[in-house]
A and B are shown apart, each in its own frame.
Chain A
Amino acid sequence: QKEVEQDPGPLSVPEGAIVSLNCTYSNSAFQYFMWYRQYSRKGPELLMYTYSSGNKEDGRFTAQVDKSSKYISLFIRDSQPSDSATYLCAMTILTGGGNKLTFGTGTQLKVEL
């Protein structure tokens, strides 16, 4: 079983829809949770990060973490064609030195006009 599971999609939605992207994880030691967006043939870019359970909002994006269920979500409101990309969840255990991220496999999202 992988440490982080993510539905690969592809997920196709109409413009303006609310999108929900999800990851589950098995290691309860994970403390820091991130969402990356990756456009085709580009490197991932960090969208949001959070330490604690609950919601964190940034514009049209909301990151949600439920540590008791080992479940994280990214919600996109009023989705736009420019949101079409692959979304990767990532998480890490905070240590005194460097940290290695564990990534999900990514969910491919297409927002259609």
Chain B
Amino acid sequence: DGGITQSPKYLFRKEGQNVTLSCEQNLNHDAMYWYRQDPGQGLRLIYYSQIVNDFQKGDIAEGYSVSREKKESFPLTVTSAQKNPTAFYLCASSMPGRGNYGYTFGSGTRLTVV
């Protein structure tokens, strides 16, 4: 079955550590996205990529970094510069060229700072 796989499901980070969240899709979608979800604030866009080797900052990119070396993969690194990283992180993909502008989401990674 095609879909998006996020791992791990739960992640714990110590203060000052960088952590990387994995996102892999086998839908052959061109575009991929990272969102952060906090209670009462909805989904906020961190980074997005429309094509391999290219990505753009979203609304809350500070303290995060990404790479897009392969079409299938879009990992997100939460750096020590992100002061409030505890949140639910969602990866998504889309293929707007096919006339479907909705996103397919992964099941999310819950990151907690300990």
Contacts and interface: CB of A to CB of B under 8 A. Distances in A.
Interface of A: 6, 8, 32, 34, 36, 41-46, 49, 88, 90, 92, 94, 97-101, 103-106
Main secondary structure of the interface of A (DSSP, over half): loop
B16 interface: no
B34 interface: no
Contacts of A44: 43, 90, 103, 105
B104 A88 contact: no
B48 A46 contact: no
A99 B94 contact: yes
B76 to A, nearest CB: 15
Contact of A99 (B96, B105, B108): B96
Interface string B86-103: 001010101010001111
Interface in B45-96: 45, 48, 50, 58, 88, 90, 92, 94, 96
The 10 closest A-B CB pairs, nearest first, are A43-B105, A105-B42, A98-B50, A46-B102, A98-B31, A103-B43, A43-B107, A32-B101, A44-B105, A103-B42
A105 B41 contact: yes
B50 A92 contact: no
B102 A98 contact: no
B92 to A, nearest CB: 8
B50 A41 contact: no
B42 A106 contact: yes
Nearest to A39: B107
A45 B50 contact: no
B40 interface: yes
Contacts of B41: 105
A45 B105 contact: yes
A103 B4 CA distance: 20
A41 B105 CA distance: 12
